[in-house]
Structure 1
Amino acid sequence: MHKDELIHLHSLLVEIKKYFENEEDVEGEAFEDYETLGTSPVHIHKSKSEHKHAIFVLGEELAEKMSEDEWDETGRVGARMEELAEENAD
C-alpha cells in the first residue's frame, strides 16, 4: 500500500475507535497502546511504517474490544493483528 492509502485506512479505523468510545461502554485504557504511539492519521509527516504499525496496534485493540462484545469470533483477528503489530514494530 502507498502511504496515502495507509493514512486513509488509519482514518477509517480511528472512526471505528470513536464509535466504540461514544456508543459502547469502553474503559479508559481500551485503546491505551494506540494512544501511546502518538501517531494519528493527521500526522502526515510520520513515516509509512509508523502509520502501518499504528494501524496494526489499533486494529488489534479494536478486535480485542469486539471479541469482548457480541462478536466473539473476532478474537482470532485480535491475535493476528497483535502479531502483525509486533512484526512491524521498529
Structure 2
Amino acid sequence: MHKDELIQLHTLMAQIRKHFEHMGLSPYGEYDSLSISPLHVHRSKAEHKHAIFVLGNDIASALSQDDVSGMGRTSIRMHELATRASENIANTN
C-alpha cells in the first residue's frame, strides 16, 4: 500500500473510533500513546501502518466487549500485526 492510501485508511479508522466514542464504546488503548493522527502526513509510512494496526486492535477490543463472535480473535491478530510493525519501525531507525 502507498503512504497516501495508508493515511486514507488511518483517517477512516480514526472516524470509526470517534463514532464508537459517540456511541458510548470506549476504544481507548495504546493508540492514544502513539501521538500520531492521520493529519501527521510528515510521519513515516511505517508509523502510519503501525498506528492503523494499533487502532484496529483498540476498535476490535471495544467491539469484543459486546460481541462474542470473531472480534476477540481479530483483536489478538491486530495486536500481533501492531507488534510486528513496531519492530519494523525500530529496525529502520
Q: What's the TM-score, normalizing by structure 2?
A: 0.87
Q: 1:37 to 1:65 in 2, by over 3 A?
A: same
Q: Indicate whether 1:48 and 2:52 are aligned.
A: no
User: Pick from 45, 69, 75: which aligns with 2:66?
Assistant: 69
The alignment yields a C-alpha RMSD, in angstroms, of: 1.2
Unaligned runs of 5+ residues in structure 1 are none
Percent identity over the alignment is 48
Query: Cα distance, 1:23 vs. partner?
Result: 1.0
Question: Does the Cα contact within 8 Å between 1:66 and 1:72 map onto a contact in 2?
Answer: no
Unaligned runs of 5+ residues in structure 2 are none
The alignment of Structure 1 onto Structure 2 pairs a total of residues equal to 87
Question: Does the Cα contact within 8 Å between 2:60 and 2:71 map onto a contact in 1?
Answer: yes
SS at match of 2:70: helix
Find the aligned partners of 2:24 and 2:69 in 1 and give their Cα distance. Answer: 16
Equivalent AA in structure 1 for residue 15 of structure 2? E
Equivalent AA in structure 1 for residue 19 of structure 2? Y
Q: Over residues 47-86 of structure 1, what are the superposed CA-to-partner deviations in whole Å (9 max), with x where a residue is unaligned? A: 0000000000000010011011136321111000000000
